[in-house]
Amino acid sequence: MNVYDDIRKGERGAWVSISAYIILSAFKLISGYLFVSSALIADGFNNLTDIVASVAVLIGLKISQKPPDSDHAYGHFRAETIAALVASFIMAMVGIQVIIGAIRSLIEGNNTEPHLWSAGVAVVCAVAMWGVYIYNSRLAKQINNHALMAAAKDNLSDAMVSVGAAVGIVGAQFGLPWLDTVAAFAVGLLICKTAWDIFRDSTHNLTDGFDEKELKDLRSTIARIEGVEGIKDLKARVHGNHVLVDVVIEVDPELTVTESHHISDLVEERMVKRQNVMHVHVHVEPKS
């Protein structure tokens, strides 16, 4: 199975998320207005932003399946990262609007006590989103897709948001109607935090940033390969969900070209098999 087959599997997870968010956001928004719950309405808007993020992931997965061409020798895998970056801006704007609305409600004292049924709605939605998280996390592990795993973690955070909304609604039943509005404010903050996390990761990848711990793991894997006597230079960057590696290894200067080339092949095979690296460029130099 090649990387494109895995991407097509990842699309299935994205569609599951989109379908769940459409149903749950409509359910929460309608119930929130009927039962007068600011927290449930804010949670519904949170799911609307998640629809945008999931659609962005889906579009990115679609574009990333395009084969390499004259302008994109490494393929189009970064389209997914760009789509996620755009989604982060949209999520941030919605989160800020939710926060402003909650602050205005607190200042003006519009703290209407929500109906207890809204808490039940929040709990049901939390259970449903937990199921989506289980499905996507298992699929992401199966195909080793980091973007889908990030989406699964977003599913989990959404389930926790719904639990928090339910807590705020129940608290409002005990003579603290402002607690529902505070819960809405907390949801807005979580939306902004999720947007920031996506923005930070996307810009880090687009500027060829790479985790130092992962780089050490790559170095350790290469160093253990028979025939590699030193690593002169090692660089890595993320390309969509995949990793591109450039490495300069040192070998015994007495080896023939064929023997050195065999060691280079071992490095490529080991990296792709154990580290999920899509492409490795190996340069061989004699050990001085």
Q: Give 67-107 pLDDT, tens digit per residue.
A: 888 888 777 878 777 877 877 787 788 778 778 877 887 77
Non-local CB neighbours of 208 within 8 Å, separated by 6+ positions: 237, 238
261 plus 160 within the same structural domain? no
Higher pLDDT, 56 or 96: 96
Q: Which of 182, 206, 230 is the last residue of a domain?
A: 206
Q: Among residues 206, 230, 246, which one ends one of the domains?
A: 206
Do 77 and 138 have their domain in common? yes
Using an 8 Å Cβ cutoff, are 87 and 199 in contact? no
Does the structure show a pLDDT above 80 at 33? yes
Backbone dihedral region for residue 75 (phi beyond 0: left; psi -120 to 50: alpha; all else: beta): left
Nearest to 25 by CA among 1, 2, 5, 53: 53
Tracing tokens 């006597």 back to the chain, one arrives at: 229
Domain identity same for 183 and 227: no
Residue where a domain stops, chosen among 167, 191, 206: 206
Half-sphere exposure of 52 (CA within 13 A, CB side): 19
Q: Within 10 Å of residue 288's Cβ, how many Cβ atoms?
A: 7
- Lowest mean per-residue pLDDT among 21-25, 164-168, 257-261, 282-286: 164-168
The residue among 103 and 134 whose pLDDT is bigger is 134
Average pLDDT taken over every residue of the chain: 83
pLDDT band at 276; cut points 50, 70, 90: low
CATH number at residue 241: 3.30.70.1350
- Give me the domain span that covers residue 197: 3-206
My answer on whether 231 and 202 are in the same domain is no
- Are residue 145 and residue 253 in the same domain, yes or no? no
Q: Do 113 and 228 belong to one domain? A: no
> What integer pLDDT is reported at residue 195 of this predicted model?
81
Q: Give the count of domains, the chain.
A: 2
Query: Residue 234 pLDDT more than 90?
Result: yes
Does residue 1 carry a pLDDT above 50?
no
Helix (H, G, I), strand (E, B) or coil at 35: coil
Residue linked to tokens 């080793």: 144
Which residue has better confidence, 86 or 123?
Answer: 123
The reported pTM is 0.74
Q: How many CB atoms lie within 10 A of CB 137?
A: 18
135 and 248 assigned to the same domain: no
Residue 82 half-sphere exposure toward CB, CA atoms < 13 A: 10
Query: Rounded CA gap, 155 and 150, in Å?
Result: 9
Q: Do 12 and 102 lie in a common domain?
A: yes
271 and 154 part of one domain: no
Q: Are residues 110 and 242 in the same domain?
A: no
Task: Give the per-residue pLDDT at 267.
Answer: 92
CATH of the domain at 32: 1.20.1510
Distance CA 286, CA 277 (A): 25
Residue 282 in this model has a pLDDT that exceeds 90? yes
Within this chain, do residues 170 and 201 fall inside the same structural domain, yes or no? yes
